[in-house]
Amino acid sequence: MNIVLLGAPGAGKGTQAQRLVAEYGLAHISTGDLLRAAVKAQSKLGKEAKGYMDAGRLVPDKLVINLVKERLQEDDAKRGFILDGFPRNSQQAVVLDSELKDMGIDLDVALLVDVRPEVIINRLSSRRTCRECGYTAQAGVDACPRCGGEMYQRDDDKPETIAQRLETYGNKTAPLVEYYAGHGILKQVDGDRDVNEVYADVKSLLGL
């Protein structure tokens, strides 16, 4: 099964993706992770991406799609994948569909994890991140359980910044949701609830 995962920052997409990966062996393809890994490995695409990132510019869609295509050729992705973080708008979705078609790959589901803005602001503003490894936990955890690093609140996780991010997300993503609805593959789950309830509904929606 090939899935595009949709939802605002803090909607709990990553948690649901991790459970699907653990239970069904799908490849979790996060474009953020792909970019960081490519830069760290100093691959050709990574060096190109780093040039844009160092200049404070957005990495071009074509470069991101090339990273995704490269990742899709790995063995685990052939069993099915969850694409997380891309596409971010309907223009990117059109390009992605074209590239996947050339590879003989179809998307089965666009899964939207829908959460009210006030719930997301509360979730993210109480989140702390490890300076060393990026592990996230709730406020009150002073040392990273994974590596022992310092936990801190990212600027992105402050309430005023979260509100701006949600506004940007809403403006760009509403047409993307409509795009996949128009293609008849959009499925939506209420992400405001306990993660176990959400996951049960996700599996039901996906027919798993």
Is 85 annotated to bind ligand? yes
Residues marked as catalytic: 13, 88, 127, 154, 165
Dist. CA 133–CA 33, nearest whole Å: 13
Is 36 annotated to bind ligand? yes
Is 87 annotated to bind ligand? yes
Is 13 annotated to bind ligand? yes
What is the bridge-based pairing of β-strands 109-114 and 27-30? unpaired
Q: Which amino acid is at 133?
A: C
* C-alpha dihedral, 181 to 16 to 148 to 128, nearest 10°: 50
Is 128 annotated to bind ligand? no
If you search the block for the tokens 């596409």, which residue do you land on? 87
Is 145 annotated to bind ligand? no
Is 165 annotated to bind ligand? yes
**Residue 207 falls in which region: left (phi positive, over 0), alpha (psi -120 to 50) or beta:** left
Nearest to 112 by CA among 58, 33, 192, 35: 192
Is 153 annotated to bind ligand? no
Instruction: Please report, in range form, the residues annotated as the binding site for ATP.
Output: 10-15, 127, 193
